Amino acid sequence: MTEYAEVPSAIVGALAPICLGLPETRQEPAWAGVRWRVRQRTFAQVFTIEWGGPDTLVTMLSFRAAPGELEALITSGSPFVKAGWGTDVVWMFLTDATDWDEVQELLTESYCLLAPKKLVALVDRP
């Protein structure tokens, strides 16, 4: 059975302004961790999970990517892996080396894939 742990508050604190800065978004508890939604669609989720052994916890960010971007991220390797579900979902390991500008770009694009066009038109894309 997969074991989940609480997401470090510093990571939620870094992601929240990025996600909540997009039009009509909200933050809520998810089945594991925290997720951000636009209307009823989840464009980002963060969770902490055992990975590679029972004493190894990692925090991962889940987001959506367009087909070309998805392939580029997955083939680039770490910190990206293909999620075990969905056709356009990517997981990103969040570490001390995480590039938060890149995270902002990826989450903005994830949002734009799922948001209504009238909300996407309000977004200043990086």
108 domain residue, yes or no: yes
**Each residue of 32-82: pLDDT tens digit?**
999 999 999 999 999 998 777 667 889 999 999 998 899 999 999 889 999
100 domain residue, yes or no: yes
pLDDT computed for residue 54 by the predictor: 67
Note down the domain range covering 31.
4-120
pLDDT computed for residue 36 by the predictor: 98
32 domain residue, yes or no: yes
125 domain residue, yes or no: no
How far apart, in whole angstroms, are the C-alpha atoms of residue 26 and residue 35? 8
Number of domains in the chain: 1
116 domain residue, yes or no: yes
pLDDT computed for residue 2 by the predictor: 62
Residue 74's contacts (CB-CB under 8 Å, 6 or more residues apart) are: 80, 81, 82, 90
89 domain residue, yes or no: yes
126 domain residue, yes or no: no
- The one-letter code for the residue type at 74 is I
How far apart, in whole angstroms, are the C-alpha atoms of residue 36 and residue 121? 19
Q: Is the separation of the CB atoms in 92 and 44 below 8 Å?
A: no
Which CATH number covers residue 52? 3.90.1150.30
User: Which helix (H) or strand (E) segment is 40 a member of?
Assistant: none
| Tokens (6 digits) for 61 | 């960010």
pLDDT computed for residue 1 by the predictor: 46
Residue percentage of the chain with pLDDT more than 70? 95
In angstroms, how far is CA 30 from the centroid of its own chain? 12
**Each residue of 69-117: pLDDT tens digit?**
999 999 998 899 998 878 899 999 999 999 999 999 999 999 999 999 9
Q: Which residue has the tokens 């997981």?
A: 91
64 domain residue, yes or no: yes
pLDDT computed for residue 57 by the predictor: 87
The pTM (predicted TM-score) of the whole model is 0.92
